[in-house]
A and B are shown apart, each in its own frame.
Chain A
Amino acid sequence: MKLFEFQGKQLFKQYGIPIQSGTLIYPNSSVENLEPPMVIKAQVMTGGRGKAGGIKIWDGSESIGEIIESMFQKRIKDEEVKAVLALTSVEIKEEHYISITFDKENSKYAIIAGISGGVDIEEQAYTNMSSMIVMDIDPLLGLQEYQIRLIAKKLNMDDYGAFKNIIIGMYTMFRDYDASLVEINPLAKTPDGLVAVDSKVEIDEKAFFRNRSKIEDFAEQIHTLVGADVFSANEDTITYVPLSGDVGLVSDGAGTGLLSLDLIAQKGGQIANFCELGGITSADVVYKALKKASMDKNVKSLLVVLIGGINRMDHMAEGIVRFYQESFNDIPIYIRMCGTLEDVGRKIMQDNNITIYENLNDAVEDAVNRIKE
């Protein structure tokens, strides 16, 4: 779950990381109390906001009402602007980059610092690696003081105490909130000390079982602003990817799903959607997946690829039978079913007069040929 800038900064404040004072503005909020100079920032999830016109300086010469009004009219890379953050401007002397995230290669954490922060940080990482410092953090030992000292030296921090508090705040927050990313870009040196001018925070959805109460307010705000229901999206394990062809695909594994996708293409078919059940699955999940995949109006035939290990074919058969009984359309379905408890599953299908395939190639071929007819 990605947080908005204002949400990340709310956490920064809680962890003693200095931020600019500011006001969050919705389309109907009053702007009368605002005093120039201010920075007006569209609150969107997408990156590259500044380049897309989502950040404006208000020096007092224009009407703040109009600036904010025009901000709400904008679409930033297809994202509507539903909230705007008005911040007191700060005089930036230097910009740096700091983030804490996962080092996937070594299964540890990494702290990344850049001598110069700003909008082109990714490019900088490719072109001038010597301006970046990357250090791994042992998840069992945590961030060490020598690491903070090293970065402080490289970034020429004259107020070490303030810098150390920021880094420790970031790391503590990274752990407390099960974050997968805590980023400050830029961390600005100003005449009044260090300030986190922007925030980027991502929280691991897999940890909702233990951090839900902490992030409920954020999730609520995200729901209001972008309509996405963070929690319910995470309730079932189905991965659903709509595509543009006419063969629907439901599989009980990502690997066999991708294989089926290739086989469909090799036999000259085009896939309409990719629906993978994921994890330990149930009759209910396969039923929902079949419904979802067959509701796509492009689907002219539906291929169901099941090969159970942990996933049980008796449960799969129950879900499929339920789908057949309630089925409201006549899309032809081609089911390959085998694996754990396949005998029980096969029997259930037979009792309900549903034909199943043994061989994946045969099922794919028939599903694709049906469309060519």
Chain B
Amino acid sequence: MSIFINTQTKVLILGITGKTGSLQTKLMRSYGTNIVAGVTPGKGGSLVEGVPVYDFVNEAIEEHRINAAISFVPPKFFKDSCLEVIKHHIPFLVTTTEGVPDHDVVEVLRYASLNGTTILGPGSAGLIAPNKCKLGSHPPQMYREGHVGVVSKSGALSYEIGKTLTENGIGQSTVVAIGGGPFWGLTSTEILKQFEADDETKMIVMLGEIGGSMEEDAAEIIRQHITKPVVALIVGQSAPQGRSFGHAGAIIQGDTGTVESKVTALKKAGAYIAKNPMDIVRIINKLEGNGE
């Protein structure tokens, strides 16, 4: 099995009539994702890519079985649309929206945790289980089915590594992008635990970046709970300190969040450290050779 999504996933799209929402709906559908309904307030009754659009989440739920949602709404509608999904107990919600006010993010995450909705994001590119389901913007040509689970903050970096793995004959079980932070629903540590429990995943690639302490936290989980090999690549080792590099999290302050502190923690926890994408391929090939 893959994690969070599979061939049984039935998807609701929030903000389906927008430019990004409608294009991504088309791309997910052509990959085979089962998209059953969309919601855009005021656009109920129309069709997007053959998918029926409703004004409210409850109207969509009355007509369809839905067990996952993905949101493409602009920041000002983020809170309202998420709260509506959570209120109706859809168990899994991917939010791609970036630039959401911090106050709205913490309210939504808190409400979700009280009501049993798992949130991936905000600012997440989503996830893909190659050949089964794509819930997000991962370009499908970068992936093939296999046994390596990939977790990344950055969406683009997850595509890049997917591409490198695929070009070198290494397939993936699920590739997950959690978003650039500084607030997260699902964190790397929770994704690692899911991969550990997933039969299809034999190895894990963790993509980190400078700033924050998530990689250090993940190292602790790897040490305690993860028996599968973890290959880690931390990007930004040549970035100067104290400057922000796009992701809210990607800033080094003091001596926490440096590549060294992350690499040291991960090495100690038994993870293999790659220096660049091709290095990941070399390490995986070596591990597979040794395993056989």
- Write the residues of chain A forming the contact surface with B, with a CB cutoff of 8 angstroms: 102, 104, 107-109, 138-140, 175, 178, 180, 204, 206-207, 209-210, 237, 239, 241, 243, 251-259, 261-266, 271, 274, 276, 278-280, 307-310, 312, 338-340, 342, 360-361
B156 touches A258 (CB 8 A): no
A54 to chain B, nearest CB (A): 22
B76, B99, B159: the one contacting A309 at CB < 8 Å is: B159
Using A206-B100, A241-B243, A258-B210 as known contacts, say yes or no to A107 and B183 having CB atoms under 8 A apart. Answer: yes
The answer to whether residues A204 and B27 also contact, given A252-B156, A309-B159, A360-B160 and a CB cut-off of 8 A, is no
Segment 135-170 of B: residues with Cβ below 8 Å from A: 136-139, 141-142, 152-160, 163
Q: Which of A107, A252, A280, A309 contacts B110, CB < 8 Å?
A: A107
Closest-CB distance, A186 to chain B (whole angstroms): 24
B183: which A residues are within 8 A, CB to CB?
Answer: 102, 104, 107
Which residues in A have their C-beta under 8 angstroms from that of B23?
Answer: 312, 340
Of B3-11, B188-196, B232-240, the stretch lying at the interface with chain A is B232-240
By the criterion CB–CB under 8 Å, are A239 and B238 in contact?
no
In the complex, whether B101 has a CB less than 8 A from a CB of chain A is yes
Q: Inter-chain contact count A-B, CB under 8 Å?
A: 163
Residues of chain B in range 222-277 having any CB-CB distance to chain A below 8 Å: 235-240, 243-247, 250, 275-277
Question: Could you say which residues of chain A place their CB within 8 Å of the CB of B210?
Answer: 258
Known: A252-B156, A309-B139, A310-B137. A258 touches B98 (CB 8 A): no
CB pair A175–B245 under 8 Å, yes or no, is: no
The docked-state distance in angstroms from the alpha carbon of A266 to that of B27 is: 36
Q: Which residues of A contact B285 (CB under 8 A)?
A: none
Bound: A253/B103 CA distance, A: 24
A204 touches B236 (CB 8 A): no
B34 shortest CB reach to chain A, Å: 20
- How distant is the Cα of A237 from the Cα of B99 in the complex, in angstroms? 9
Measured between beta carbons, the chain B residues less than 8 angstroms from A307 are: 139, 156, 159-160, 163
Complex: how many Å from CA A315 to CA B212? 33
Do the beta carbons of A261 and B110 come within 8 Å of each other? no
Residues of B within 8 A of A312 (CB): 23
The CA-CA distance from A244 to B238 in the complex, in Å, is 13
Most chain B CB within a 10 A radius of its CB, from A209, A276, A280: A280
A348 → chain B, closest Cβ, in Å?
17
Taking CB atoms, residues of chain B closer than 8 Å to A361 are 278
- Is B56 interfacial (CB-CB < 8 Å)? no
Cβ B237 vs Cβ A309 within 8 A: no
Query: What 0/1 readout, one digit per residue, does chain B (165-201) give for beta carbons within 8 Å of chain A?
Result: 0000000000000001011100000000000000000
Chain B neighbourhood of A180, CB < 8 A: 102
- Give the CA-CA distance A243 to B245 in the complex, in Å: 12
Contacts A/B (CB < 8 Å), 9 sampled:
A139-B107, A175-B103, A207-B102, A253-B157, A254-B180, A261-B238, A307-B160, A309-B138, A312-B23
Q: Tell whether, in the assembled complex, residue A266 and residue B245 are in contact, meaning their CB atoms are under 8 Å apart.
A: no
Q: Give the contacting residue for B106; candidates A108, A243, A271, A360; CB below 8 A.
A: A108
Query: Which residues of chain B are within 8 angstroms of A360 by Cβ–Cβ distance?
Result: 160, 277
If A175-B103, A257-B245, A308-B139 touch, whether A251 touches B156 (CB-CB below 8 Å) is yes
- Measured in the bound complex, the distance between the Cα atoms of B235 and A274 in whole Å is 14
Collect the chain A residues with CB atoms within 8 Å of residue B16's CB: none
**Cβ-closest chain A residue relative to B259:** A262
Given A255-B157, A255-B209, do A280 and B20 touch, yes or no (CB 8 Å)? yes
Q: Are B75 and A209 in contact (CB under 8 A)?
A: yes
Residues of chain B within 8 A (CB-CB) of A342 are: 139, 141
